Amino acid sequence: MAENLDPVFQIQRIYLKEASLEQPNSPAILLEQEQPSVDIQLGVEATPLAEGVYEVAVTATVQTKIKDKTVFLVEAKQAGIFEARNLPEEQMGPIMGIACPQIVYPYLRSNVADIVQRAGFPPVHLAEINFQAMYEQQQAQQAQQEGSRIITS
């Protein structure tokens, strides 16, 4: 019996892997009238779990401050388990770095907004992200770093 070599890409599960909220200066900071500054950091990571099965996680860190005091800090990691088999090797990078994060990210946005709102603050709505541009920028940085290693070696 011949093995099925049709390309396969499917979501097995989407889940909130990690979430934390800190309000280190509450309740005093809540009495401040000044608008806080907001700093948002995002990251994407892909990890092989088994043959043709991968976990892709998108992490967001949202920190708001008034002057040098933290109002709140939210860290959340939303992940998905994806099956990707019989796909050309050159497509795997874009699938793990663009397609999968685009699927996971809306769940992360919703969870971050919910956590912040449940903490008693107006929700923070993470902006839409162009994961293709982010992926291409990372690829260009890696190529530049590899190029500089060759020159300095």
pLDDT in tens, 54-107: 999 999 999 999 999 999 999 999 999 999 999 999 999 999 999 999 999 999
Task: Report if residue 11 sits inside a domain.
Answer: no
Task: Report if residue 62 sits inside a domain.
Answer: yes
* CA distance from start to end of the chain: 51
Q: Does residue 1 have a pLDDT over 60?
A: no
pTM, 2 dp? 0.86
Task: Provide the CATH number for the domain around residue 134.
Answer: 3.10.420.10
- Per the structure, the complete domain to which residue 39 belongs is given by 20-152
- Mean residue pLDDT of the chain comes to 91
pLDDT value of residue 41: 94
- pLDDT-derived band at 45 (thresholds 50, 70, 90) equals very high
Task: Report if residue 10 sits inside a domain.
Answer: no
pLDDT in tens, 117-134: 999 888 888 999 999 999
Q: DSSP per residue over 8-54, as a string? A: EEEEEEEEEEEEEEE-TTTTGGGG--SPPEEEEEEEEEEEEEETTEE
Task: Report if residue 5 sits inside a domain.
Answer: no
